[in-house]
Amino acid sequence: MNERNRRRSDNRPSRERKGNDRPQNNDRNAPRERPVRTGGSRPESRDNRNFARRDPDRSDRPERRNDRRPQLDRDRDRDSRREGPRDREPRSSNVLYGLLPVIEALRAGSRRVDRVLIADGSQEKRISEVIELCRSASIAWNRVPRDSFSKYVEPGANTQGVIAFAASGEYTDVDEILDNIGDDALLLLLDGVEDPRNLGAILRVAECAAVDGVVIPERRAVGLTDTVAKSSAGAIEYVKVARASNLNRLIDDLKARNIWVVGSSLDASIDHTGWDWTRPSALVLGGEGSGLHRLVAENCDVLVKIPMYGKIDSLNVSVAAGVILFEARRQRKG
């Protein structure tokens, strides 16, 4: 190369290296420099790439937590959320509420009372009587917020500031009632009363009339519930109540014991005052609306009626029970 060409190559400007061009390095064992990122997002790791591969239609769904607890614990938590708070006790027929039902249950002692709850701020005069009865019988009682009563009774129930937890109302055996009656027996048979308030009112009438026992059917009739106990105003603690599988068979048994079976019916030709109630008798009352069943009415010795003087042709079954039973007591007293 001559001198002229050498000067021309020295004066030629060098080419600038671009950012993506790598320097020539003949040594293959030398470490390579990693390119420097001047902007953009962070390189994706394996985990990030896995999440990025999810279905785009599911991108708006919340990420599911990895619950590694045992399956039994998860099932228990799910059931507890479904059932509600753990401290919420189920409403049952063992709960008595109201001053009279609770006081009479404590006085009678016919069934066990486990504890009594009294609402804070209760000013009823007979609350002190409840407390004294609890103390005399060594029954636990506590004052609690009134709002807590909603755990045990239906909304709107008139508790009068007191609730008692007692054993279930017990039925008496029919034979036990029949074996303990005398020559002046007075029984009450109910043919399909379904309203618990009516049954409670009838039990109250029966107790006040000193009936020897009340018999209800096992099927298609209301039993001894908390509403019945409340409506009876404590009479359920004193009246003997039995259940019969077949009222017609029971009526035949009563006839064999020389007990007159008297049914109440609108179709009767005799007024209730025209029957001689001084004889041993069993009064049979029908259910609401339908009255006595046909076979029951045919099996009675006699049918009587209460005369009506207004435009309504019948009385409530609990009112009819009071009218007839107290007529029987009036005749026996006189």
Domain boundaries, the chain: 95-166, 174-333
Q: What pLDDT score does 305 carry?
A: 94
The pLDDT value recorded for residue 251 is 96
Residue 222: the pLDDT is 86
For the full predicted model, state whether its pTM sits above 0.75.
Answer: no
Task: List per-block mean pLDDT (blocks of 10 residues) for the chain, which spans 334 residues.
Answer: 55 51 52 54 50 49 50 47 37 74 87 86 83 89 88 85 80 92 94 92 95 91 84 88 93 95 93 95 91 93 94 91 96 84
Cβ-based neighbours of 115, under 8 Å, separated by 6 or more: 139, 140, 141, 142, 164, 165
The answer to whether domain 95-166 has CATH 3.30.1330.30 is yes
d(CA 178, CA 183): 11
Contacts of 191 (CB under 8 A, 6+ apart): 217, 247, 284, 285, 286, 287, 292, 293, 296
Q: Are 304 and 275 in contact (CB under 8 A)?
A: yes
Please report the pLDDT score of residue 215 as a whole number: 96
Distance (Å, whole) CA 22 – CA 19: 8
User: Which pLDDT value is given to residue 108?
Assistant: 85
- Length of the chain equals 334
Q: Where are the alpha helices (DSSP H) in the chain?
A: 3-10, 46-52, 71-83, 99-108, 127-136, 174-179, 196-208, 226-231, 247-256, 294-299, 317-333
Distance CA 264, CA 287 (A): 11
For domain 174-333, the CATH architecture is 3-Layer(aba) Sandwich (3.40)
